[in-house]
Amino acid sequence: MIKFPKISRADRPIEFSVVAFLVVTLLVTVIPLWYVLMISFTPLGSSPKLLALPWEWSFRAYQELLAQPALVRAGLNSIILTVGGVLISLTMTVLTAYPLSRKDLPFRGFFTGMILFTFLFSAGLIPNYLVIRDLGLLNTYWAILLNGAVSVYNLFVMKSFFQNLPESLEEAAKIDGATDLQVLWHIVLPLSRPILMTIGLFYAVTNWNAFFEPILFLSDRNMMPLPVALRDILLGLNNAEYVESTANQVASSDALKMAAVVITTIPMLAIYPWIQRYFTQGVLLGGVKE
């Protein structure tokens, strides 16, 4: 049973609009997603239905995809890239954003401007590629991990959050003789959990979805992450002009395409509730307790 919270009479219209808005949003979002799921369950030789019954579902597309030996390795590669990417990116972003958020950093304006400049002027494909090559990073994961280590957008968001923290806490700690690093570690970071989680998630998703950088910077196909491997598989199955024979096709190409989407999305769906926990806690209180 749903427990209805107490709502005062004055708040009823707004409460009603909030719930109505959320329900409509939910429907608008979920129906197309449901359709994607249903297409992935469509058996060979029938058309996708929005309201297919569970016993009409076929899992052949998933079986066929997961039977591809290349997929497991690609999944592992993706995990390495994602975990490594988040660790490196989050550390670098925090370490850069924190000093920039401090008013007492000399030349702060210069540094900020210098970073903002790179947000506006990116050199583009080939100039970037040439640098990665000259640094000797081609064909290593470092090319991807380091090249995208700091996103200026995320950096500025984090800096802005640090700036909004009450200064008094930091100052009090400094009076007690804490160094800047200790202040960052013991005071600022515990207070910033929601934004750390958010930015961490942003980085994780960027790396998880990385498609073009691996293709450009890596040559060894065995190092490719999941999105590249999945696309290769789909391409092979769709590339009918060069197809070998019909003997092996057990699922329609649409089902395979959508199953591939579901497979790549599930890990990101799985970590989300875990991150969501940090969006519901009273953060400041938690911080003060430490």
Partner 1 sequence: MNANVVIRRGAKPKTQPVLARVWRARMLFLMLLPGLLYFVLFRYLPLLNAQIAFKDFQPTLGVWGSPWIGFQHFLSFFNSFYFSQLMTNTLIISVLKLVIGIPPAIILAIAIHESSFKRLGRLVQTATYLPHFLSWVIVFGVLLAMLSPSEGLINKGIVSTGADPIGFLTDPNYFRWVAIFSDIWKETGWSAILYLAALIGISPDLYEAAQMDGATRWQRIRFISLPGLLDVIILVTLLRLGHILDAGFGQIFILYSLPVYSVADIIDTWVYRQGIQNFEFGMATAVGLFKGLIGLLLIVTANRIARRFGDRGLY
Partner 2 sequence: MKKWQVLFGIVATAGAVVSLAQLGTAQSGLTDISLALNIANPESPIPAANWDTWTTIKDKIGVNIKFTSLPAAADGDTKLGALAAANDLPDLFEVRNPNLFDRLVQQGQLASVSSITALMPRRNAMRYTDRKRNALATVNGVQYGFQEPASLSRQYAISIRKDWLEKLGLKAPTTLEEFYEVAKAFTERDPDGNGKKDTYGYGGVIDYDTAGVLPGLGLGNHFQWIYGAYSVAGTWNYKAKSFNANVKDPNYRKATEYIAKLVSNKLIDPDWATMKRADLRTRWQQGRYGMFYESVGGLQSGIRNFDGNNKKAELMFIAPPKGPSGKAVPGIYANAGWLFVVSKKALDAGKGPAIAKFLEFANYNEGYYLLGFGKRGVHYNLVDNIPVANLAASAAERGMYTQLKWLALNSNPGELKARYAIFTTAEKQATYNFYEMLLDAQNNGWVDRTGDIAIRAASNQADIERYVAENMVQFALGQRPINDGNWDQFLNGLNGLNFEQYENNAEKVLKTGGFLR
Residue 189 touches partner 1, criterion: CB under 8 A: no
Residue 1, contacted partner among partner 2, partner 1, none, CB below 5-8 A by kind: none
Tell me which long-range contacts 47-55 makes (C-beta under 8 A, separation of at least 24): 48/254, 48/255
> In a 3-state reduction of DSSP, which class is residue 278?
helix
Contact string (CB under 8 A) for partner 1, positions 22-51, x = contact: xx-xx-xxx-xx-xx--x----------x-
In the block, residue with structure tokens 């923290």 = 165
Q: Does 175 bind partner 2 (CB under 8 A)?
A: no
Q: Is 79 in the site for partner 1 (CB under 8 A)?
A: no
79 contact, one of partner 2, partner 1, none, CB 5-8 Å limit per kind: none
Q: Binding pattern to partner 2, positions 23-62, x when CB under 8 A?
A: --------------------xxxxx---------------
- Six-digit token string for 84: 């490594």
CB-based burial label for 128 (10 Å; 0-12, 13-18, 19+):
middle
Identify residues 215-234 at the interface with partner 1 (CB under 8 A): none
Segment interacting with partner 2 (CB under 8 A) among 161-169, 171-179, 241-249, 280-288: 241-249
- Residues 290, 187: Cα–Cα separation, whole Å: 9
Residues in 126-165 at the binding interface with partner 1, rule: CB under 8 A: 126-128, 130-131, 134-135, 146-147, 149-150, 152-153, 155-157, 160-161, 163-164
CA angle 95, 83, 140 (to 5 degrees): 95
Residues that bind partner 1 (rule: CB under 8 A) add up to a total of 107
Q: What's the CA dihedral at 283, 285, 288, 289 to 10 degrees?
A: -110
Which of residues 69, 106, 124, 177 is near partner 2 by CB under 8 A?
69
137 interacts with partner 2 by CB under 8 A: yes
Binding mask 194-233 for partner 2 (x = CB under 8 A): ------------------x--xx--xxxx-----x--xxx
Report which DSSP code applies to 56: G
DSSP, collapsed to helix, strand or coil, labels residue 135 as coil
What is the DSSP secondary-structure string of 195-252? HHHHHHHHHHHHHHT--HHHHHH---GGG--HHHHHHHHHHHHH-GGG---STT--S-
**Judged by CB, which is closer to partner 1: 179, or 219?**
179
Q: Which residues bind partner 2 (CB under 8 A)?
A: 43-47, 68-70, 125-126, 129-130, 133-137, 212, 215-216, 219-222, 228, 231-249, 252-254
